[in-house]
Amino acid sequence: MTGLKKTYGAVTALRGVDLEVGEGELFGLLGPNGAGKSTLVKAACGLVRPTEGSVMVVGAPAGSAQANGALGYLAELFRFPDWCRADELLELHQKLSRSAGGAEERAELLALVGLTDAAGRRIGTMSKGMQQRLGLAQALVGDPKLLLLDEPTSALDPAGRRLVRALLERLRDRGVAVLLNSHLLSEVELVCDRVAIIAGGEVVAAGRPDELSRPGGVEVETGGGVRVYEVALREDVPRIVADLVEAGESVYGVRLLRSSLEDAYLEAVANAPTGDGAAAYVPAEVR
């Protein structure tokens, strides 16, 4: 997407976002409520028309048949017809996406999300977590090249989250690009190759998770207890150890400390301009 801007009346949701998700890349999108993340994902699906800028999916304009043919999407506030059975829903999406996978693909997708036994179950009788798993299976119908997941684990228990993480890694191995919009920083940090932090409708930080987190000192375990050197870097470790040994301390271990993605996120968001939409929530002590 290039220079993507979106306004809803007087409210500006996106202020010119440039973003690229490469083939087989797992890309995390972070940001506070109202930052414009869902609008960005919807623009990539063609559900929202950009006010300015352009969004291309596999070389075709977002929303076109060619672009949508390469997409899989799970919305944050999705809902499926409650009267419909899981297998029927997947069959509908197979027909719409012209997938020739048939019953075999449906069974494989349901197994992938742990819903094999629920194929004939009515969606209305499923828990929210089961529906979210079904939503993931639905998004994978037709072997998409780009998967857009808006808070895909919000209703899942820890086992379900682990399942999704494993699934995302498998998809990456198969060359599927994933744009993952999530509030769960730990989740994003664990699986994503690159991350963009959005606040006030702008990308305020972007890079690999380890790039966004910064060195945070050195921790040394000695006979006299744990000592923390807050401003020290990796290059300082030999000197610190030598000084301690010279001073008669026994050194049992050294650990480099880094700030977490959460620290980087809070810092980036605190310094970002507040959008016209819902104000970005940043705890007062961080501001």
Partner 1 sequence: MTAVWVIAGFALRESLRRRVFIVVAVITVAFLGLYGLGAWQAFQEVDDFAFDDRGIEPEAVAGATLLGLGMFGTLFLGTILAVFLTLGAIRGDAERGLLQPVLVRPVSRRTLLLGRFVAAASVCAGYVIVVYLVAMVLTNLAGGWWPDRIVAPALGLAAAVTIIAACALAGSVFLASTANGIAIFMIFGAGLVAGLLGQIGEALGSDTLNTVSDVTSWALPFEALYQDGLAALTADTVGFTKLAVDLGPFGGAQAAGPLLWPWALGYLLLVGLLALRGFTRRDL
Write out the residues near partner 1 by the rule CB under 8 A: 8, 42, 45-49, 65-66, 68-69, 71, 73-75, 77-81, 83-84, 92-93, 95-98, 135, 138, 148
Shortest distance in whole angstroms from residue 205 CB to partner 1:
27
Shortest distance in whole angstroms from residue 125 CB to partner 1:
13
User: Using CA atoms, how far apart are residues 227 and 249, in angstroms rounded to an integer?
Assistant: 11
Shortest distance in whole angstroms from residue 5 CB to partner 1:
14
Query: Whose Cβ is closer to partner 1: residue 65's or residue 247's?
Result: 65
Phi and psi angles of residue 11, each rounded to the nearest 5 degrees, phi first: -95, 125
Query: Whose Cβ is closer to partner 1: residue 42's or residue 194's?
Result: 42
Three-state SS for 181?
strand
Query: Whose Cβ is closer to partner 1: residue 51's or residue 222's?
Result: 51
Shortest distance in whole angstroms from residue 95 CB to partner 1:
5
Q: Positive or negative CA dihedral for 40, 44, 47, 49?
A: positive
Shortest distance in whole angstroms from residue 27 CB to partner 1:
18
DSSP secondary structure letters along 10-74? TEEEEEEE-----TT-EEEEE--TTSSHHHHHHHHHTSS--SEEE-EETTEETTSHHHHHTEEEE
Assign 3-state DSSP to the chain and report helix, strand, coil percentages, each to 5. 35, 25, 40
Do 86 and 121 contact (CB within 8 A), yes or no?
A: yes
Query: Whose Cβ is closer to partner 1: residue 67's or residue 203's?
Result: 67
Shortest distance in whole angstroms from residue 188 CB to partner 1:
22
Do 192 and 209 contact (CB within 8 A), yes or no?
A: yes
Shortest distance in whole angstroms from residue 222 CB to partner 1:
57
Do 139 and 167 contact (CB within 8 A), yes or no?
A: no
Query: Whose Cβ is closer to partner 1: residue 78's or residue 229's?
Result: 78
- Whole-angstrom CA distances from 192 to 44, 115, 180, 182 are 19, 25, 8, 11
Query: Whose Cβ is closer to partner 1: residue 6's or residue 194's?
Result: 6
Three-state SS for 95?
helix
CA 237 to chain centre: 35
Query: Whose Cβ is closer to partner 1: residue 152's or residue 209's?
Result: 152
